[in-house]
Structure 1
């Protein structure tokens, strides 16, 4: 990649669900040693984190999360700890990677610099209003195809970059159950812009975004009413991703998908699809109501920032989805609480003082 990346503009957010990060960080050392790391210790973890030397990092714990979140209903446990990193960062670019992912290698065997690729995606325009059949026209060796309107060739600002997984694909529990041995081993060297008004599932395991523009649209919300009933965190980033995509569409901003890949060593529940299905099923059913909702939402012109959009979406969620299940009412409450937290959040440097 030819882009000269300013590391001071990047925070790599790592949700630490395992106490020993030594193997994870040593595998990532050639890449992550150049950037500042925000490591979020799962509030439910009792063990001390083991972190090798040589990394510019800051660890945040349950105490830090409670200090910032106060008495709100925001839940930062488990995978949701990554959202606290989004909240307290003060950098332009957020790169989110979970601690069960290792760097991928491309089809020639070279290590994939996921951070550089994400920043490249976010630093070049997106084309959501007219699809280019050669994918990313701004990449070296590519251009717009015949018939592409010249009036749209400047593109729009890209604010979200959704990376992919090698090995374990991002399947839900029912798909895992019928395809237990399937692996994604095909490296596709491509990036494309997701068209406007097209919803998409987003995984928080390998995603990047412009914090300064759409940061408030990345929040924990859907799991609040489901503790003990369902593992909502497997649906939470899907919910968050659809909210973020809706915000991007409304504000005329771009979203890309494709490179970079990470290598996912195992799925949730250690790859036990039936165990995952028991925990996910309630969420899977509710998502059938969620997708039509997001496909139908149109935000008013008065919503001109990500914060405005999230508040408007929260109101619609409460009104239209709230009667279906209490989890949606709690989700709307959490979205509104998140915007307040976002506006009031202290700079990162002050949290552990």
Structure 2
């Protein structure tokens, strides 16, 4: 794989902290994290001071900081639980953001070597994506690969990559019903590959291990859709799934790419799938309406930025889904408020 020179001042690593003691987590990542600036956002419901070892360049944001920036207590935007990571996205001033959750540690490849997840995300984001024609040898820009026979030469320059979705070993991203029925199911298969998700193909996204170009798609990562009984843990939320479909529609419209595959992280156990199923089941059912909506969504030529796209998506959500369920109406309102907040905070910087 070709080497990409990473400028430290272009990257922020965002960490949503749901536990007070981050010592072991930070030490596991020290060789990687110590090269970059960190934004650590404490879950506003978490009490006490965060414990962070020395030797890291970081900023910590707490509930008081969130309240100061967001302002009105009546705002529909919530940064509770892992949604606190979105506040980190909001406060970043860097071109690239890498989001790693606090229950993940560096994974090893099939040769036993530790995976530098940050460098791999940057490689994904700084090499072209190919969403308009599928290359059967995966990413043609990886060293040792190229475009296959029949791939149109007019499409071989690719497009900019807006989002990089990493995977994880051990506890994979199954939903609560699957994990509850198969409690011993674990992901032990390491696949050394990156591919571009085809245009007009929807996909779920998890903020556990992602990287994105803030300048291209930043405001499209919206903390908008929350269930009535939504909890804090991954089995209890569908917010980032909604976010993933929003950002995928934006990328497709703006002719940007989304990659998935490498890098892997190792995901530790957290939460109870059976208990979480009570909170997530509503979202599982709603996806049957949400996915066809996003699949059919087309934006206008007037939408030329991510902010424009989010505004049009919000209007469609309100018109086509809002009347059938108040959660969709709230999501549309939250998306509008998020773009306003994003513009205000970025303008102040």
Normalising by structure 1, report the TM-score: 0.95
Asked if the contact 1:230/1:282 (under 8 Å) is kept, the reply is no
Supply the distance in 2 between the matched residues of 1:230 and 1:156 (Cα, whole angstroms).
Answer: 37
Shift in Å, 1:3: 1.3
User: What is the match of residue 55 of structure 2?
Assistant: 54
User: What is the match of residue 5 of structure 2?
Assistant: 4
Moved over 4 A (4+): none
Moved more, 274-283 or 229-238: 229-238
Shift in Å, 1:144: 0.3
User: What is the match of residue 291 of structure 1?
Assistant: 291
- 1:68-83 matched pairs, under 5 angstroms: 68-71=69-72, 72-83=75-86
Find out whether 1:171 has 2:174 as its counterpart. yes
Q: Deviations over 1:103-152 (max 9, x none)?
A: 10111111100000000000000000000000000010000000000000
The SS at the match of 2:237 is helix
Shift in Å, 1:281: 0.8
Q: Deviations over 1:312-351 (max 9, x none)?
A: 0000001111122111100000000000001100579x7x
Shift in Å, 1:179: 1.1
Supply the distance in 2 between the matched residues of 1:95 and 1:347 (Cα, whole angstroms).
Answer: 22
Which residue among 235, 238, 248 is the counterpart of 1:235? 238
User: What is the match of residue 309 of structure 1?
Assistant: 309
Q: For this pair of structures, how many residues does the alignment match?
A: 343
Supply the distance in 1 between the matched residues of 2:45 and 2:168 (Cα, whole angstroms).
Answer: 26
Asked if the contact 1:194/1:255 (under 8 Å) is kept, the reply is yes
Find out whether 1:64 has 2:29 as its counterpart. no
**Structure 1: gaps (5+ residues):** none
Supply the distance in 1 between the matched residues of 2:41 and 2:230 (Cα, whole angstroms).
Answer: 23
The SS at the match of 2:49 is coil
User: What is the match of residue 14 of structure 2?
Assistant: 13
Supply the distance in 2 between the matched residues of 1:111 and 1:83 (Cα, whole angstroms).
Answer: 28
Asked if the contact 2:44/2:79 (under 8 Å) is kept, the reply is yes
Q: Deviations over 1:237-296 (max 9, x none)?
A: 0000100000000000000000000000114x2xx2211111111111111110000001
The SS at the match of 2:39 is strand
Shift in Å, 1:230: 3.4
User: What is the match of residue 45 of structure 2?
Assistant: 44
Asked if the contact 1:230/1:283 (under 8 Å) is kept, the reply is no
**Structure 2: gaps (5+ residues):** none
The SS at the match of 1:345 is helix
Asked if the contact 1:88/1:347 (under 8 Å) is kept, the reply is no
Supply the distance in 2 between the matched residues of 1:101 and 1:234 (Cα, whole angstroms).
Answer: 18
Normalising by structure 2, report the TM-score: 0.96
Supply the distance in 1 between the matched residues of 2:5 and 2:260 (Cα, whole angstroms).
Answer: 21
Which residue among 241, 244, 258 is the counterpart of 2:247? 244
Find out whether 1:187 has 2:190 as its counterpart. yes
User: What is the match of residue 147 of structure 1?
Assistant: 150
Q: Deviations over 1:218-241 (max 9, x none)?
A: 111111x62xx2338620000001
Q: Deviations over 1:80-113 (max 9, x none)?
A: 0000000110100000011000010111111100
In angstroms, what is the RMSD of aligned CA positions? 1.3
- 1:95-114 matched pairs, under 5 angstroms: 95-114=98-117
Supply the distance in 2 between the matched residues of 1:61 and 1:346 (Cα, whole angstroms).
Answer: 19
The SS at the match of 2:185 is coil
User: What is the match of residue 269 of structure 2?
Assistant: 266
Supply the distance in 2 between the matched residues of 1:246 and 1:346 (Cα, whole angstroms).
Answer: 23
